[in-house]
């Protein structure tokens, strides 16, 4: 065998070349199965309204001829429109210099980690929370610390200011993640928790992931209302959920201009394609049409909570477009049985729990009917 064929040499395997801290990791893998009722990734169940489809087609046609050129690296129009949307819905004046966007809020989170994390630094989150927070954190060699949720005498997944502060002081992180409404539990955290964490961690960037904010129950304020005067606070959002545009891949954040300036150091040039920018802007021209389904989805979410309670399961109160429910005898067995009925839900790795996205009334009805049929065998026995 010649040296070119590897003879006589001790070539490394790809596994050996892989960064040691990534060895043995598993990639993100929510199943993408072709099923009649997919309620597993918290997408908006409704198709994009025709008025938005028409606007998107026109907008993409408008940029098609110029695809020989790089897009606006600063996505100026999009930033302006996102700032205006946030200002309108929250009543907080958000300027375009405060807005950043990426290909999904996952990429926005990656930019934050690239700029503010890195080897030798630590990020703290409160588990169970969004499973990608630790994954994204580790991709840049940052250490992830699993904080805990659960408040004595309250919900097992609640997070209160005292507990959060205690954990922040114990771990002294450079980044803290709060997810509100929290995935997979569905509940929002109080702004008192955000404020207390910010005060307790004067040397940390505090990131509030508000991917599901538009579904929150009335009276749930956004952490955007806390941005003023807090340079280390970041609020991330997405067009993947309430806006029904998961396929577009557009997430964004609002923070102090110093934060968005830092993100310019790590993003790839022209990271938002011209079609992505055009689609997002066209959609933002039709916010009311796009968000028209939010109330219907919230009604289905509340219907799930009510009916699961009646069946004897333990749904967690939700401010999102999904419901986590406990009281499941064996979550893998019920997940499989629901799939046999054509309904895909999410096993989030929590014993005796599954998570289901609120769908259209028909989809939700199919899920509830299947669950009703399966309940006798799959309900966890209540402690005496
Ligand atoms: N944050 C949370 C809490 C999520 O649940 C998700 C998606 N499931 C994201 C961020 C990322 O969404 P996207 O990249 O589509 O914006």
- Give the domain CATH number at 211: 3.40.640.10
Q: Whole-angstrom Cα distance, residue 353 to residue 330?
A: 8
Tell how far the Cα of 346 is from the centroid of ligand 1, in angstroms.
15
Dihedral of the CA atoms 269, 272, 278, 282 (nearest 10)? -140
Q: How many Cα atoms sit within 13 Å of 352 on the Cβ side?
A: 11
The answer, yes or no, to whether any atom of ligand 1 lies below 6 A from the CB of 321, is no
What lies within 8 Å, CB to CB, of 284 at 6+ separation is 78, 81, 82, 84, 85
The answer, yes or no, to whether any atom of ligand 1 lies below 6 A from the CB of 239, is no
Q: What is the pLDDT at residue 4?
A: 58
Q: Whole-angstrom Cα distance, residue 271 to residue 276?
A: 10
Q: Is residue 145 part of a domain?
A: yes
Atom index in ligand 1 nearest the CA of residue 182 equals 3
The answer, yes or no, to whether any atom of ligand 1 lies below 6 A from the CB of 209, is yes
Q: Are residues 265 and 343 in the same domain?
A: no
- Angle of helix 274-284 relative to helix 76-90, nearest 10 degrees, comes to 30
Q: Are residues 339 and 233 in the same domain?
A: no
The answer, yes or no, to whether any atom of ligand 1 lies below 6 A from the CB of 142, is no
Q: What is the pLDDT of residues 56-106, one digit of tens each?
A: 999 999 999 999 999 999 999 999 999 999 999 989 999 999 999 999 999
How many C-beta atoms surround the C-beta of residue 18 within 10 A?
Answer: 13
The answer, yes or no, to whether any atom of ligand 1 lies below 6 A from the CB of 44, is no
Q: Which of 246, 270, 285 is the last residue of a domain?
A: 285
Q: How many residues does the chain have?
A: 384
Q: Is residue 7 part of a domain?
A: no
Q: Is residue 383 part of a domain?
A: no
Q: Is residue 384 part of a domain?
A: no
Q: Is residue 269 part of a domain?
A: yes
Q: Are residues 202 and 310 in the same domain?
A: no
Tell how far the Cα of 192 is from the centroid of ligand 1, in angstroms.
23
- pLDDT band per the 50, 70, 90 thresholds, residue 383: low
Residue 3 has pLDDT above 60, yes or no: no
Select from 73, 72, 98 the least CA-distant residue to 85.
98
Q: Whose CA is nearest to atom 1 of ligand 1?
A: 211
- The backbone torsions φ and ψ at residue 322, rounded to the nearest 5 degrees and listed phi first, read -150, 165
Tell how far the Cα of 274 is from the centroid of ligand 1, in angstroms.
22
Q: Are residues 182 and 143 in the same domain?
A: yes
Q: What is the pLDDT at residue 40?
A: 95
- Residue to probe by mutation, ligand 1, list 129, 177, 238, 246, most atoms within 8 Å of CB: 238
Q: Are residues 218 and 310 in the same domain?
A: no
Q: Whole-angstrom Cα distance, residue 85 to residue 95?
A: 11
- Once rounded to an integer, what is the mean pLDDT over residues 168-188? 97
Q: What is the pLDDT of residues 45-68, one digit of tens each?
A: 999 999 999 999 999 999 999 999
The answer, yes or no, to whether any atom of ligand 1 lies below 6 A from the CB of 185, is no
- Give the domain CATH number at 327: 3.90.1150.10
Q: Whose CA is nearest to atom 14 of ligand 1?
A: 104
- Once rounded to an integer, what is the mean pLDDT over residues 345-364? 97
- pLDDT band per the 50, 70, 90 thresholds, residue 28: confident
What lies within 8 Å, CB to CB, of 233 at 6+ separation is 194, 198, 206, 208, 223, 226, 227, 255, 256
Q: What is the pLDDT at residue 1?
A: 54
Q: Are residues 352 and 279 in the same domain?
A: no
Residue 217 has pLDDT above 80, yes or no: yes
The domain tally of the chain equals: 2
Atom index in ligand 1 nearest the CA of residue 240 equals 15
Tell how far the Cα of 238 is from the centroid of ligand 1, in angstroms.
7
Q: Are residues 262 and 209 in the same domain?
A: yes
The answer, yes or no, to whether any atom of ligand 1 lies below 6 A from the CB of 357, is no
What is the residue-averaged pLDDT of the chain? 95
Q: What is the pLDDT at residue 154?
A: 77
Instruction: Look up the domain containing 140 and give its range.
Output: 50-285
Partners of residue 329 on adjacent β-strands: none
- Once rounded to an integer, what is the mean pLDDT over residues 155-174? 94
Q: What is the pLDDT at residue 138?
A: 94
Q: Is residue 347 part of a domain?
A: yes
Q: Is residue 9 part of a domain?
A: no
Residue 279 has pLDDT above 60, yes or no: yes
Torsion over CA: 148, 152, 155, 161 (sign): negative
Q: Are residues 115 and 221 in the same domain?
A: yes
Q: Which of 259, 285, 311 is the last residue of a domain?
A: 285
Q: Whole-angstrom Cα distance, residue 368 to residue 384?
A: 27
Q: What is the pLDDT at residue 30?
A: 80
Strands of the chain (E only): list them.
37-38, 99-102, 122-127, 143-148, 175-179, 205-209, 233-238, 251-255, 314-315, 322-326, 343-344, 354-357
Q: Which of 285, 302, 335 is the last residue of a domain?
A: 285
- Once rounded to an integer, what is the mean pLDDT over residues 283-289? 96
- Once rounded to an integer, what is the mean pLDDT over residues 242-253? 97
Tell how far the Cα of 88 is from the centroid of ligand 1, in angstroms.
22
Q: Is 245 helix (H, G, I), strand (E, B) or coil?
A: coil
The answer, yes or no, to whether any atom of ligand 1 lies below 6 A from the CB of 315, is no
Residue 382 has pLDDT above 80, yes or no: no
Q: Is 62 helix (H, G, I), strand (E, B) or coil?
A: helix
Q: How many Cα atoms sit within 13 Å of 236 on the Cβ side?
A: 29
Residue 5 has pLDDT above 70, yes or no: no
Q: What is the pLDDT of residues 118-143, one digit of tens each?
A: 999 999 999 999 999 999 999 999 99
- Once rounded to an integer, what is the mean pLDDT over residues 270-288? 98
The answer, yes or no, to whether any atom of ligand 1 lies below 6 A from the CB of 322, is no
The answer, yes or no, to whether any atom of ligand 1 lies below 6 A from the CB of 318, is no
Q: Is residue 21 part of a domain?
A: no
Q: Are residues 89 and 116 in the same domain?
A: yes
Q: Are residues 280 and 299 in the same domain?
A: no
Q: Are residues 277 and 323 in the same domain?
A: no
Q: Are residues 263 and 311 in the same domain?
A: no
């Amino acid at each position: 065998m010649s040296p070119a064929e590897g003879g006589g040499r001790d070539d490394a395997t790809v596994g050996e070349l892989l960064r040691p801290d990534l060895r043995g990791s598993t990639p993100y893998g929510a199943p993408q199965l072709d099923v009649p009722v997919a309620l597993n990734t918290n997408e908006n169940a409704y198709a994009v309204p025709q008025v938005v489809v028409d606007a998107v087609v026109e907008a993409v046609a408008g940029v098609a001829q110029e695809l020989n050129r790089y897009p606006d690296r600063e996505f100026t129009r999009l930033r302006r429109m996102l700032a205006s949307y946030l200002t309108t819905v929250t009543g907080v004046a958000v300027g375009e210099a405060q807005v950043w966007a990426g290909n999904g809020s996952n990429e926005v989170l990656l930019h934050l980690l690239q700029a503010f994390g890195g080897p030798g630094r630590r990020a703290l989150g409160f588990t169970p929370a969004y499973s990608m927070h630790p994954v994204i954190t580790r991709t840049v060699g940052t250490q992830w610390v699993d904080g805990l949720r659960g408040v004595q005498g309250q919900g097992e997944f609640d997070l209160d200011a005292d507990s959060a502060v205690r954990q922040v002081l114990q771990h002294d992180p450079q980044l803290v993640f709060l997810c509100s409404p929290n995935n997979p539990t569905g509940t929002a955290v109080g702004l008192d928790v955000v404020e207390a964490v910010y005060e307790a961690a004067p040397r940390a960037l505090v990131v509030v992931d508000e991917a599901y904010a538009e579904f929150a129950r009335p009276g749930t304020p956004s952490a955007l209302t806390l941005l003023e005067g807090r340079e280390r606070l970041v609020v991330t959002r997405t067009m993947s959920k309430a806006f029904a545009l998961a396929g577009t891949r557009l997430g964004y954040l609002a923070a102090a201009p110093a934060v968005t300036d830092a993100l310019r150091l790590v993003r790839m040039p022209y990271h938002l394609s011209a079609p992505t920018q055009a689609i997002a802007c066209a959609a933002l021209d039709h916010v009311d049409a796009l968000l028209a389904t939010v109330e219907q989805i919230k009604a289905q979410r509340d219907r799930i909570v009510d009916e699961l309670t009646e069946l004897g399961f333990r749904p967690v109160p939700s401010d999102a477009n999904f419901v986590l429910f406990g009281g499941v005898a064996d979550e893998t067995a019920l997940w499989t049985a629901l799939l046999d009925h054509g309904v895909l839900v999410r096993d989030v790795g929590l014993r005796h729990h599954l998570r289901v996205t609120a769908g259209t009334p028909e989809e939700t009805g199919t899920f509830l009917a299947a669950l009703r049929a399966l309940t006798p065998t799959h309900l966890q026995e209540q402690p005496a």
